[in-house]
Structure 1
């Protein structure tokens, strides 16, 4: 089978021929249909992501596909089932083995590409806004990086939860994508003062930040008293340093959200969130925005689109129709 293999952190990943994997106890094997790319894939290729395995390994955190073999001890899943899986690695390949307890059955209304683009982006935003920040109807939500893979879902889910959504992104095209996802107000981060614009709207109750750096600082200063700031990631490359006395003065809360971490300590929270998201998708209330759908031999091009911030929503690698 073909797979995008990272042999060393000192060399770029490359397509390679690999032996077909055999499922271990508790695993399923998929004929992979599609793999959603994430900013974390870029970090893993450099060895800087929190859950990076030692090379060699196959990149690709989340996949959709059809089960073609089950390992010993697997119950409740069968050959032929259509599923999505957050595997953490192994997705950019024609086949892969993944933990059976991470597989989510797909409704017939969900296609392969939507399924591959769904779990991390929507799961992150829903857990962040609902479980962590307790976003309430009528509150003002500021979304930084609002046209990115997670940012666009935060706009969509925030609006669905009844918030007034302020979307911040760079350039007219990206802001148009955020507006189409439901944003009420738009801020161009390349030309406008984020703090001034948000303050003019009355301040933010909740900030969703996958960017970090200077944008975090501006958003921090634009929070209303008792504001909640969600740190989702640091696409800017700069991890902000927070002055605790400023938290005290405005009664602010800064909280982190690592979606994959819930698999280790509270998987039921993640499972419940995905059930709600799947129901919303089936009702037509949310729909992944996929700006690029590329074949496996163009996977590196897809990663470059993320690195250069030339995509909106998700980039998906389509591998086969199993």
Structure 2
């Protein structure tokens, strides 16, 4: 089968498109014909050997996919061959076929196409877990979402709105702010031209945001610490700005702030029982029309280099999807 292969984790530039043997489904696994595979910032880290998961080379990058079930491993129930599914894998999505654990595979909500479904599990799963499990976001609270036009940020805007929160979104540039507003943000802040701290304070009559969802870090994290409400919860999702910030503990103490780290992928190993319930809840929210997955780029697998460059250049909104069959 055709796949994007990493021979050594020296960065995405060293990847190559080639033929390789097809994987086989083992006990508790499914073999999936991949129609679409979503790109994530974590893919760039894995290709550079900087991600938490470090597969032995050669390996195929790619963490999430959508397609149809091609074969069932021993002991797998609840799925049938030919069924449309979406799945999360440790690696292997940038190929024609991949193997996924049954516990990491989910039915695609009715009406959701393969490209949108491919980018659904990690982004929506992350935002649901961060806002519901970790931040305990309540109806009527104010949620501040950074990177609100990006892959995970946009899903946090939608889920926050669905949970009844007032959503303030930050994004870089008028076009990205407009996308965040179109997906439910009540107020938007262009961090390229506006002072985030001062705007949040003005929008909340000086109180600040109850919950901050931050996949960006860097200067935006510093602004968040000063724009969060007393007894607020600040959830660290990632470091897209490239800087791993240090948290001044005195600010946490004075404002009674909870600083919470959230890595959704670890729940697959430590609390897999939460996953099925989360995706049932997300399917219900989607069925109500409150989630509108956004894919800004659909590229054939042969254009993988363009995908990485677009992702790293922060020129995408929502998700970038590779199409292995094109």
- Normalising by structure 1, we get a TM-score of 0.96
Preserved CA contact (<8 Å) 2:103 2:272: no
Partner of 1:285: 290
Preserved CA contact (<8 Å) 1:34 1:112: yes
Deviation at 1:278, TM superposition (A): 1.4
Among 301, 307, 312, the alignment partner of 1:307 is: 312
Q: Secondary structure at the match of 1:157?
A: helix
Deviation at 1:310, TM superposition (A): 0.1
Q: Secondary structure at the match of 1:59?
A: coil
Deviation at 1:192, TM superposition (A): 0.9
Mark the runs of 5 or more structure 2 residues left unpaired by the alignment: none
Measured against aligned partners, the alpha-carbon deviations of 1:11-46 in whole angstroms (never above 9, x if no partner) come to: 521111111222222221111111011111111111
Partner of 1:154: 156
**Using the alignment, how far apart are the partners of 2:257 and 2:109 within structure 1?**
40
Partner of 2:269: 264
Among 120, 123, 135, the alignment partner of 2:122 is: 120
Q: Secondary structure at the match of 2:292?
A: coil
Partner of 1:87: 89
**Using the alignment, how far apart are the partners of 2:147 and 2:56 within structure 1?**
30
Mark the runs of 5 or more structure 1 residues left unpaired by the alignment: none
Deviation at 1:130, TM superposition (A): 1.2
Measured against aligned partners, the alpha-carbon deviations of 1:96-138 in whole angstroms (never above 9, x if no partner) come to: 1221222112244221112101111111111111111111111
Deviation at 1:62, TM superposition (A): 0.4
Q: Secondary structure at the match of 1:35?
A: strand
Aligned residues: 321
Over aligned residue pairs, what C-alpha RMSD do you find?
1.3
Q: Secondary structure at the match of 1:57?
A: coil
Partner of 1:274: 279
Partner of 1:19: 21
Partner of 1:34: 36
The runs of at least 4 consecutive aligned structure 1 residues that moved more than 3 Å come to none
Q: Does 1:212 align with 2:200?
A: no
Measured against aligned partners, the alpha-carbon deviations of 1:222-278 in whole angstroms (never above 9, x if no partner) come to: 111001000000001111101112111110000011111111111122221111111
Preserved CA contact (<8 Å) 1:205 1:224: yes
Partner of 2:56: 54
Preserved CA contact (<8 Å) 1:127 1:270: no
Partner of 1:7: 7
**Using the alignment, how far apart are the partners of 2:101 and 2:10 within structure 1?**
29
